[in-house]
Structure 1
Amino acid sequence: MENRKSKCSGYGMFTGVCWVIGLGIILSVAIGLPLKKSLGDNSSALAALVATGIGFAYVVLSAAEWLAQTRALKSNPLPDELDLSERSVAAERCKALTGCSTLHRHIRRLLTAWAAGASGPQVSSMAGNQMLRTMGVLAAETVAVLILLGSGAAFGAPQVLLTLGTGCMVLVTLMAIARFQLASQLAGYIESNLLARIGNDTPAAAGLEFTQVLGKAVTDSTASLATAQAKFAEQLAKVQADAAAQAAKAQTDAAAQIAKAQTDTAAQLTKAHSDAAAQIASAQQEAAAQAVKAQGETSAKLAAAQQETAAQLAKAQDKVAEQLGRVTEIATSVDNILKLQQTVDGTIKGVTATEEFKSTLLELKRHLSESDEMLKNLAKPRSIRLVEQDRE
C-alpha cells in the first residue's frame, strides 16, 4: 500500500481545545474590561468570566466550522462525471483533493482505502465509523461547554455574567443542532457520491473479476509474446545480414588501406634513406673543409706566436744586460763611498786626539759656563733706591 503524506495536520476542526482556550482568554479579557468595577478582585467572578469567554469562543469557532463545512459541501468535491469504480481514478482524485475540512478529510481516507484495494463493504464500514466519531465529538464538545457554562452560576458571579452565560448556552445549543444537521448532510453526500459509485466489491465478486482479468491478461500476453517473437526473429535475421555485409565491407576496406599504407611506407623509407645519404655526404665535405681551414689558422697563429715570443726574449735580454751594467756601476760607487768614509773617520780621530783640540774644547765649556752665570745674574730682580739730599 502506498504511503500518502497527509495534506493537513492537527485536529481537523476549528473547535480544537487550543483554539477554544486561546480565543476564550482573549474574549474574557474583552468582556471583563467594561465589567472591571463590578467584578473587583473576586476569584469566583473571574472564574465565571473565563468560563463565559470560553463559551463564546466555542460559539464563534463552531460558526466558523459550520461555514467552512458548508462551503466544502457546496464545492462538490466528487463530481458526477468521475468513474470512482476505477481504483486508479479514485487514487488520482484523492491526490487532487487539497482541502483541510472534515469533509475533505473523510473523502480522502475513503478514496485512499478504495485505491489501496479495500472492498466496497470495508469502505462503507469506514465511512460509518468516521461519521459516528464525528457525531460523538460534536456531542462531547457541546456537553462539555454547557457544563462549563452551567458551573459559572455556582461561582456566585454578578448578574451580568449570569445573563451572558445563559445567552451563551442558548447559542451553544443552536450551533450544536446546526452542526448535527450539517453532519447528516455530509454523511448523505458521502453515501450518494462515493459509496454508491464504487460498487459492492465483495470478496467473491473480486475473485471472479480477478479471474476474468487474469485470463484476459494471459491471452493478451500470449498473443503479444508470439508477435514479439516473430518480430524479434525477423529483426535478428536482418541484423545478422547487415552485420555480415558490414563485416565483408570492413575487411575489404581494411585490406585496401593496409596495402596503400605499405606502399606509402616503402616510398617514404626510400626517400628518407636517399635524403639521409645526401645529408651525410654533405656533412662530411663540410667537416673536411672546416678541418683544413682550422689547421691553416692554427699554423698561422703558432708562427705569429713564436715570432712574438722571440722578439720579447731578445728585448728582455737587452734589458737584463742594461740592468747588470747599472748594478756594476752602483757597486763601484759604493766602494768609493766606503773608502771616503774610512778616510773621514781617520781624520776625525786624528783631530780629536791633539792637545789643542782638547784645550779649545775646555775653553769653550768654561766660556759657556760663565755666560750662563752672567745670564742668571741679569735675570734676577733688582731694587732701585732713591736718596734725597739737601744742598748746602
Structure 2
Amino acid sequence: MTDVTDKIDAATVNLNYDDLNSSACPWPQYQELREAGGVVRSNDLGGFWGLLGYDQVKAAAADPGRFSSAQGATIPRMTDPRFPAVPLEADPPEAGLYRKLLQGPLRPGKMAGYVDLITDLTRSWLRDHAGTGSADLKELAATIPPEVIAHILGLDAADADDFVAWSHGMVEGAATDNPELKNSSVQSLLGYIIAKINHYRESPDETLFSAVANGEVNGEKITVGAAAGAVFVLIVAGHETTINGIASLLHVIGTAPGLKQTLVENPDRIPDAVEEILRYEAPIQFMGRTLTEDTAVNGCPMKQGESVALMFGAANHDPARFPDPEKFDIDRDTSGHLAFGHGIHRCVGEHLARLEMKIVAEEVLKWMPDYEVAAPVELRHNAASNRGPVSLQVRFTPPQS
C-alpha cells in the first residue's frame, strides 16, 4: 500500500492515500510516516504534499499567507471557481468578512434554540424506523443534519432531500473520479442556490439565506457568486461532516468496551465522548491548501502552486500531543484537537455539530440502551477528505409501547 522511498530531505514517502483513508485503522501507518519525517508525497488526487504532525498541521493552518485556501480547500477542488465556497475558499481579510455573514445563527448562544428541533427529529425517526429491534443508525445520522441546516437557512424541509442528493453526487463523483456526476451535481446545487438568491434579493425576509443573499462585504453588496459559495459551504459542509460525526460516535458507543453502559448511567459524559470521537475519528481527515511561495516543512522543499493537505485526522493521533492516541478515552484531555480545523478557517458550524451529535446520542441511548452493532462496519470516505461508517446496522430490545 505504501511505497517507502529513500529520504528526500525530510523522509518524504510516496503515499497511496486512497488505500490509507479506506483502512479501518490507519493510525499505525500514520505514525510510521510521522517517524519517517512527518511529510509525505502522494500522486493520488492530482498530487499533493501531506503534513501529518500536530504542530506542523496547526502551524500551517495558522499561516494562510503561505498556505492559501483561495484556490480551493479540497484536493482535488470540488467547487466551481466562479462560485468560491467562501469563507472556506478565501484568505484574510476577506475570509473573516464572509465568515461574519454566516456566524449569527451558529454562535454558541443560539444553540439552545435548536434543541427541541433536533430532539423532535431524532425521536420521530426512532419511532418510524427503530421499533422492531433492528435499524441502520447511519440512516438516522443522515437524516438530522440536512433538515437542521434547511431550518436554519429558512428552507422547506422537503428541499433537504434535493440538496442532499446533489451533495452526495458531488462528493461521490469526486471520490470515484466521475467528473460527469460531480459536475452535474455541482451545477444542479448551484442552480438551486442561485435561484433562491435571486428570490431573496427580490423579496428579502429574516432568514439566514436572505441575510447572505443581501449581505455586504467591505461596504458593497455581496456578489451572487460569493453568496452562492457561502450557502454552498453551509449546505455541503453543514451536513456531510456531521453525518459522519454522528455515525462514528454511535459506532464507537456500540463497540468500545464499557462505554455504552458508562454513558447510559452517566449521560452527562456524552459531551466528553463527542469530543473524543472528534479527535479519534475526525469527520474531515484533511483540508487542502495551495502554496503561495516556495517553502519547506521539516526540511522538505515544496514549490509555489503545489497542493498541501493539512491532515487533521493524522495530527489528532500524534502521540506527542495526545498520548496513547489509538485508545478511545472519554477521560482524555481533548482540548486542542483539530477536527474543526484551526485559525481563520475553523469550522463556523462546530457548535451546531456538537449539539446534534450530543442529542442524537442521548436519544438513541434512551431508545435502545442495549444496542449492539450487528454487522461489520466499513469505514470509508465519500470524498477524499471525509471518513465515516458506510452503514451501522444494530440490534436491540424493542422499546415497550
Verify same fold: TM over 0.5. Answer: no
Name the one with the larger helix percent.
1
Which protein, 1 or 2, shows the higher relative CO under an 8 Å CA cutoff with sep ≥ 6?
2
TM-score when normalising by structure 2: 0.24
